[in-house]
Amino acid sequence: MSTPPVVRPATRADVPRLAATLAAAYPDYRWTSWALPEDGRAQRLHRWAELWAGLAGVDAGTTWVTDDAAAVAAWTAPDAPPPAADLQAIIDRDLPRVFGSRQPVVLASERLGALGRPEGPHWWLHAVGTRPASRHAGLGTAVLQPVLDRCDTEGVPAAATVYTSTVVRWLQRSGFAVTHATRTAVDHELPIWTLVRQPTQA
């Protein structure tokens, strides 16, 4: 019987490795080629991971990793305060560089995806990914579990927006259900699904 993976909150020291994990996990995700300009796409993806899953999530204590950072789940907590002013300044400076000319349609599409989110407090899943060499070992599910357990304990939903039916089916295995489906703004190129997981009762 295999030993369950060690899952823990990420620290600042984990940021380079967890950003590398998401950058390795996301190149074949349809959102990546849609959202990020082709020029320097790998570098853009890595910086996006550093900003959102890394710095923002780590500082808030809402990014979880396996002990070797081979799998990552980055969340926003209910009623989370805004990032610290110095981090917000970095995000405001670098996100336009990350998305380039795609930023307006990416932000507009995020607003469309948010239409299916719960009205009340909930945990919001930003990103989840596993290094290709470590897939199919349950690590992605493992890094989701600390927040899902907390949702059940506190009676709070969890939600996510995704862009492929494969990820929809994967989240459904953890109790998520589709609450809203649409397509990306302006170009209508990608489907968007918003999923919500209601807390379960012990």
What is the total count of domains within the chain?
1
With respect to residue 121, please indicate whether it lies within any of the assigned structural domains. Answer: yes
- Read off the CATH number of the domain in which 11 is found: 3.40.630.30
Q: Which residues of the chain have pLDDT under 50?
A: 1
With respect to residue 43, please indicate whether it lies within any of the assigned structural domains. Answer: yes
Q: Which domain holds residue 61?
A: 7-197
Residue 52: DSSP 8-state: I
pLDDT for the residue numbered 141: 95
pLDDT for the residue numbered 48: 92
With respect to residue 189, please indicate whether it lies within any of the assigned structural domains. Answer: yes
Cβ distance 50 to 19 under 8 Å?
Answer: yes
Mean pLDDT for all residues in the chain: 92
pLDDT for the residue numbered 202: 54
With respect to residue 61, please indicate whether it lies within any of the assigned structural domains. Answer: yes
pLDDT tens track for 137-165: 999 999 999 999 999 999 999 999 999 99
With respect to residue 1, please indicate whether it lies within any of the assigned structural domains. Answer: no
- How far lies 59's CA from each of 56, 68, 113, 182, in Å? 5, 19, 25, 32
Q: Please state the pTM of the whole predicted model.
A: 0.92
With respect to residue 101, please indicate whether it lies within any of the assigned structural domains. Answer: yes
pLDDT for the residue numbered 97: 95
pLDDT for the residue numbered 2: 66
Strand order, beta sheet including 158-162: 7-9, 63-66, 71-76, 123-130, 158-162, 191-197, 177-183
pLDDT for the residue numbered 84: 85
pLDDT for the residue numbered 184: 94
With respect to residue 2, please indicate whether it lies within any of the assigned structural domains. Answer: no
33/41 Cα distance (integer angstroms): 8
Structure tokens at 127: 């990103």
